[in-house]
Amino acid sequence: MKIQLLNSGKLFALSCLCASVTNAAFAAEQWMDEVVVTGTREAVRKSEVAATVGVIKGVEVRAAKASHPSQIMGRVPGVWVNITGGEGHQTAIRQPLTTNPVYAYLEDGIPVRSTGFFNHNALYSVNMPQSGGIEVTKGPGSALYGSDAIGGVVNVLSRRPPASGEVEASGELGSFGWKRALLSGGNSFGDNGVRADLNLTRTDGWRQMTGYTRNSGTLRWDRALSEDATLKVLGTFSNIDQQTAGSSAISLADYSNNPTINYTPISLRKVNALRLSAAYEKETANTLLSVTPYVRDDSMDLLANWSLGYDPSTYNTSNRSFGVLAKYRMDFEAYRSRLIVGMDFDNSPGGRTENSIRTTRVGSVYTAYTLGNRIYDYQVTYQGISPYVHGEMSPTAALRLTGGLRYDDMGYDFQNNMTPAAISAVTSVGTKWYGQSANTAKHYTHLSPKLGASYTFSDSLNGFVTYNHSFRAPSEGQLFRPAATTSAVLAQQISAGNLAIKPIRVDSYETGLRGKTATGISYEASLYHMVKRDDILTQKDPITNAPISVNGGQTLHRGLEIGIAAQVADTLKLDVAYSYAKHTYDSWITNNANFTGKEMMQAPRVIANTRLTYTPGFLQGGNFAAELVSLGSYWMDDANTTRYNGHDLVNLSGSYHFGKELELFAKVNNLSNRRFAESASGTTYAPGMPRIWYMGLQAKW
Question: What mean pLDDT comes out for the span 434-442?
Answer: 91
Q: State residue 381's pLDDT score.
A: 97
Within-domain flag for 338: yes
The residue ranking higher by pLDDT, 543 or 353, is 353
For residue 85, name the pLDDT band (cuts at 50, 70, 90): confident
Question: What mean pLDDT comes out for the span 427-439?
Answer: 84
Within-domain flag for 62: no
Within-domain flag for 66: no
CA distance 176 to 213: 13
> Which DSSP helix (H) or strand (E) runs through 700?
strand 692-700
Residue 3 has pLDDT above 90, yes or no: no
User: Is the Cβ–Cβ distance between 550 and 589 less than 8 Å?
Assistant: no
Q: What are phi and psi of 500, to 5 degrees?
A: -90, 0
Q: State residue 18's pLDDT score.
A: 36
Question: What mean pLDDT comes out for the span 369-381?
Answer: 94
User: Is the Cβ–Cβ distance between 95 and 170 less than 8 Å?
Assistant: no
Classify the phi-psi angles of 321: left when phi > 0, otherwise alpha if psi is within -120 to 50, otherwise beta.
beta
CA distance 679 to 634: 10
Q: What is the span of the domain harbouring residue 444?
A: 2-39+161-700
Within-domain flag for 100: no
Q: State residue 351's pLDDT score.
A: 95
For residue 618, name the pLDDT band (cuts at 50, 70, 90): very high
User: Is the Cβ–Cβ distance between 250 and 137 less than 8 Å?
Assistant: no
Let me know how many helices (H) and strands (E) the chain has, helices first.
Answer: 7, 38
In the chain, the number of structural domains is 1
Residue 565 has pLDDT above 70, yes or no: yes
Provide DSSP, 52-97: EEEEEEHHHHHHHT-SSTHHHHTTSTTEEE--SBTTB--EEESS-S
16-25, 127-136, 192-201, 391-400: segment of lowest average pLDDT: 16-25
Compute the residue count for the chain.
701
Question: What mean pLDDT comes out for the span 558-577?
Answer: 96
Three-class SS of residue 136? strand
Q: How many CB atoms lie within 10 A of CB 57?
A: 15
Q: What are phi and psi of 295, to 5 degrees?
A: -130, 150
Q: State residue 543's pLDDT score.
A: 61
Question: What mean pLDDT comes out for the span 642-669?
Answer: 96
Mean of pLDDT over the chain: 91
Q: State residue 546's pLDDT score.
A: 61
For 499-529, the pLDDT digits (tens) are: 989 999 999 999 999 999 988 899 999 999 9
Within-domain flag for 89: no
For 581-590, the pLDDT digits (tens) are: 999 999 998 8
Burial of 253 per CB tally in 10 Å (0-12, 13-18, 19+): exposed
Q: How many CB atoms lie within 10 A of CB 237?
A: 17
What's at 305, amino acid-wise? N
Q: State residue 307's pLDDT score.
A: 87
For 241-287, the pLDDT digits (tens) are: 998 765 689 999 999 999 999 999 999 999 999 999 999 999 999 99
Question: What mean pLDDT comes out for the span 540-552?
Answer: 68
CA distance 386 to 341: 11
Q: State residue 10's pLDDT score.
A: 39
For residue 8, name the pLDDT band (cuts at 50, 70, 90): very low
For residue 75, name the pLDDT band (cuts at 50, 70, 90): very high
User: Is the Cβ–Cβ distance between 564 and 539 less than 8 Å?
Assistant: no
Classify the phi-psi angles of 365: left when phi > 0, otherwise alpha if psi is within -120 to 50, otherwise beta.
beta
Could you tell me which residues come within 8 angstroms of residue 509 by beta carbon, excluding any fewer than 6 positions away? 465, 466, 467, 528, 529, 530
User: Is the Cβ–Cβ distance between 271 and 123 less than 8 Å?
Assistant: no
Within-domain flag for 265: yes
Residue 367 has pLDDT above 80, yes or no: yes
CATH number of residue 267's parent domain = 2.40.170.20
For 44-72, the pLDDT digits (tens) are: 999 999 999 999 999 999 999 999 999 99
Q: How many CB atoms lie within 10 A of CB 614?
A: 16
For residue 421, name the pLDDT band (cuts at 50, 70, 90): low
CA distance 128 to 428: 43
Within-domain flag for 276: yes
pTM score of the predicted model: 0.92
Provide DSSP, 129-184: GG-SEEEEEES--HHHH-TT-SSEEEEEEPPPPPSS-EEEEEEEEEGGGEEEEEEE
Q: State residue 12's pLDDT score.
A: 37
Q: State residue 299's pLDDT score.
A: 95
Which span out of 84-88, 141-145, 160-164 was modeled with the highest average pLDDT? 160-164
Residue 667 has pLDDT above 50, yes or no: yes
Residue 547 has pLDDT above 70, yes or no: no
CA distance 394 to 335: 5
132-141, 304-313, 422-431, 639-648: segment of lowest average pLDDT: 422-431
Q: State residue 39's pLDDT score.
A: 86
Provide DSSP, 622-644: --EEEEEEEE--EESSTTS--EE
Q: State residue 420's pLDDT score.
A: 67
Within-domain flag for 555: yes
For 11-21, the pLDDT digits (tens) are: 333 333 333 33
- Where would I find the beta strands (DSSP E) of 190-304? 192-203, 212-224, 229-243, 250-251, 268-283, 287-303
* Distance (Å) of CA 31 to CA 45, 379, 521, 524, 565: 10, 47, 10, 8, 9
